[in-house]
Amino acid sequence: WAGGCSSSSDSALLPTQTETARPEGTFQVTMLPGDGVGPELMHAVKEVFKAASVPVVFDEHHLSEVQNMASEEKLDQVVDSMKESKVALIGKIHTPMEYKGELASYDMRLRRKLDLFANVVHVKSLPGYKTRHNNLDLVIIREQTEGEYSSLEHESAKGVIECLKIITRAKSQRIAKFAFDFATKKGRSKVTAVHKANIM
């Protein structure tokens, strides 16, 4: 995440490490190791940054629903840190299969609190790596706060679940404008609109 767009390590068990005063000439980056392989990957990132003397101080927070390390208070702390940093490195925040309580996961609530409406993924082939498809260079931009992400479900009758897929003109236009602005800034001459009307 950057400014509003979208383990074997013991660090997953450590308390929040917040830098109260970082050295002059350094930049703060919010780090959420998350679950699964996330903490291991973040540990590797920190080692690489340290070896390369990158002037970054990580403000590390542990937000996990499977390790009972999530709460509204922690979520607010993460949001405050991300607003200050403007840049965040986030591992996978896993949602338990047996989910109870509010339907929206902490991952989803984080998106809503910061209005992270655009998921941007750059797919690009790298020389020397053999893959099924060659010479790929495309950017996938996805709206991630509406549609199924609305998380509005209820049991209308015993054994019957209704799911509301909310899509608004305003947010559809916003993601379209974001895509065209991105294409213009990056010198890309074509934008393709893809819908998923067949899934509901």
Task: Report the pLDDT averaged over residues 114-140.
Answer: 93
- 18-62 pLDDT, tens digit per residue, is 444 667 889 999 999 999 999 999 999 999 999 999 999 999 999
CB 110 within 8 A of CB 30: no
CA–CA dist 114, 198 (Å, integer): 29
Q: Exposed, middle or buried, 174 (CB in 10 Å: 0-12/13-18/19+)? A: middle
Tokens of 103: 């339907």
pLDDT above 70 covers a percentage of the chain that reads: 82
- Tell me 65's DSSP state: T
pLDDT greater than 60 at residue 2? no
21 three-class SS: coil
| Helix ranges, the chain (H) | 38-51, 72-85, 106-114, 169-185
Q: Domain residue spans in the chain?
A: 1-114, 117-200
Q: Model's pTM, two decimal places?
A: 0.74
